[in-house]
Structure 1
Amino acid sequence: MPKTLPLLEDASPICCDPLGSSATLALDDAMALAVRLKALADPTRLQLLAYLLAQPDQEACTCDLAPVVKLSEPTVSHHLKKLETSGILTKERHGMSVHYRVVPEAIHAIARTLDTATRALTQVV
């Protein structure tokens, strides 16, 4: 049975060095990265994120997102909640609807951590 990761209480973007730039990775950094990667490790969530990133303001309402992935609004809300809990999205209520927005810093932090080119640059400097 897979081990479940704890809920993330601090949704701020992760700030750790690229993997491989050091032989060790602090447990807190490893946990923060794992929680975010786990949130992204779902095809529906990746589709939702791709759609949000393609919007001019990187924001959309749940009612607009449900047709994109051909799922009900409650199911889409569940997926969005996972992305929000991990710090990848934020939400804001606009009247009766909820709008979700990408946290670009969170996406950049994940990319920077996994980017081997960044690792090579840090070794040169």
Structure 2
Amino acid sequence: MTKHKIYTMSLASVYPHYVTKAEKKGRTKSEVDEIIRWLTGYSQVKLEAQLEKQTDFETFFAEAPQLNPSRALIKGVICGIRVEDIEEPTMREIRYLDKLIDELAKGKTMEKILRK
């Protein structure tokens, strides 16, 4: 079975789109970074290093220091698919990130986005 194309894409190639999506709705790059750090456990320095290294999504999530246990609380539809129904672990992590960025762009408070 071949891997989905997104697994081999670098986070750095998609990251500017996350930031642009957030900024168009009056949110900030630092909020995007906070979401990524919350989800993965990367520090800001290590996140920036991953972006600089052009790390692909599969490696980025595989090497994540501490995937947040509260990420299981992320529910809803992204790209027409319910995130909680995605069985493949790496794809689920990618879609969790997509969903959180979506929530940021839709104006949800950081407290709600980070499931506090």
* TM-score w.r.t. length of structure 1: 0.29
Q: Hey, which of these two has a bigger chunk of helix by percent?
A: 2
Bigger radius of gyration among the two: 1
Q: Hey, which of these two has a bigger chunk of strand by percent?
A: 1
